[in-house]
Amino acid sequence: MGFHYADALEEHSWVGGGLDAYIYHVTPTIVVKTVRRDRTPEEKAAGHPFLKEIAFYKRLNECQDRCPNIIECFLMLPDYLFLSYCTHKAIAPRFYERQERETGTNGFHGRLIRVKEYEDPALIARWIQQLTSALEYVEKMGFCHNDLHASNCLLDRNFNLKLADFGRATTIGQPLEGTLPPRAKPILAGPLKGTYGLCSARTEQFAVGTLLYFMVYGHEPYDDVILSAAEWDRRFGEMDFPELNRNEVFDGLISACWHNVYPTMALLAYDFKRKTKDMIWNAEYVFIDSDEETKTCEALVRRGLLGPELALRFQPAWRRYLHAIVKRSMSIWQCFLQRRFWTWSW
């Protein structure tokens, strides 16, 4: 299976990306996500994360209500997703900028030395409420996100958190793949021994606990030591977690997630909201006119953002019909000229 690329996208600002996709900023409020063009043939197989994200958004757009804490998709095409743009991007850099670390190698962060400044608890309370609200909604759809970390939590212009990147999302009950400690706990016994279990509230809340730890403590668990993959598995498999001693409310929620207290994400969201309600600032949401944004996306495609073939497909019916007539007429005229040339040659 192959993907198509639009060279014109590269004329716009690159604002993010990962192993599987790149994101380009095409209007003040819209970004386009597309598969990286440097993927190998094996990585273009049917299970590509981009196709999983399309499947998730198709299901999301069938829902009657909307969750304000999930990144909106305005237009879906086989090779492109038009998504809402978040002014302040991911929360991850906010925390890494406040860390002092040893020099890293090969693009990896070095060992943590210290955290120079901690995030405001009121902001953390708002973000964790918004995140768990999004995960409650995802669960209601019958899905798990399966890739919860700070780089997939974006901030709009009012610093509201939006959950993004559903390339690892699956329906509940599928094997958890591509997620490792500290965001997953290995199974040490039973028929699923040696795996990280099936996607469920158990796996999602464990990742939530680790993400909340990152927000509260300013770094990932055990970021101040160098651990082998086997030692990561041992510690988290045996529930040998870091000491929790910064904030009584947050510490209790982290521990509850790591110990699988909540049978559903709905109950988790309820408990998080109940226990953090006195800490939170009131959030002002940015209104998004989805219908207008969709029209803007279609206009961009018509103007050739994604190439001439898609531009034609999004033209009005009369223009497509006219284009077909002109193309047919040119073909007939070329055939006529060619026959006359043969006649003159004789």
Q: Can you give the pLDDT at residue 23?
A: 96
The percent of residues above 90 in pLDDT, for the chain, comes to: 74
Q: Give the domain-ending residue among 285, 301, 333.
A: 285
Q: Between β-strands 21-27 and 13-17, what pairing exists: parallel, antiparallel or unpaired? A: antiparallel
* Burial of residue 273 (number of CB atoms within 10 Å: 0-12, 13-18, 19+): middle
Which has the higher per-residue pLDDT, 315 or 51?
A: 51
**Measured CA distances, 343 to 219, 332, 334, 338 (Å):** 81, 17, 14, 9
Q: Per the domain annotation, does 80 fall within a domain? A: yes
Residues 60 and 104 in one domain: no
Residues 44 and 174 in one domain: no
Arithmetic mean of pLDDT, 39-55: 73
Arithmetic mean of pLDDT, 303-330: 69
Ranges 113-117, 218-222, 283-287: which has the least confidence: 283-287
The CB-based long-range contact list for 254-261 (8 Å cut-off, 24+ gap) reads: 254/209, 254/212, 254/213, 254/216, 255/209, 256/205, 256/209, 257/205, 257/206, 257/208, 257/209, 257/210, 257/212, 258/185, 258/206, 258/209, 258/210, 260/202, 260/205, 260/206, 261/205
Each residue's pLDDT tens digit, 188-229: 999 999 999 999 999 999 999 999 999 999 999 999 998 998
**Three-state SS for 27?**
strand
Q: Can you give the CATH number for the domain in which 74 is found?
A: 3.30.200
Global pTM? 0.89
φ, ψ (nearest 5 deg) of residue 60: -60, -40
Output the six-digit token pair for 166: 């559903």
Q: Per the domain annotation, does 273 fall within a domain? A: yes
Q: Can you give the pLDDT at residue 318?
A: 43
Q: Can you give the pLDDT at residue 313?
A: 86
CA distance 327 to 129: 56
- Name the residue range of residue 297's domain: 1-84+287-317
pLDDT band at 316 (very low <50, low <70, confident <90, very high): low
Arithmetic mean of pLDDT, 123-135: 98
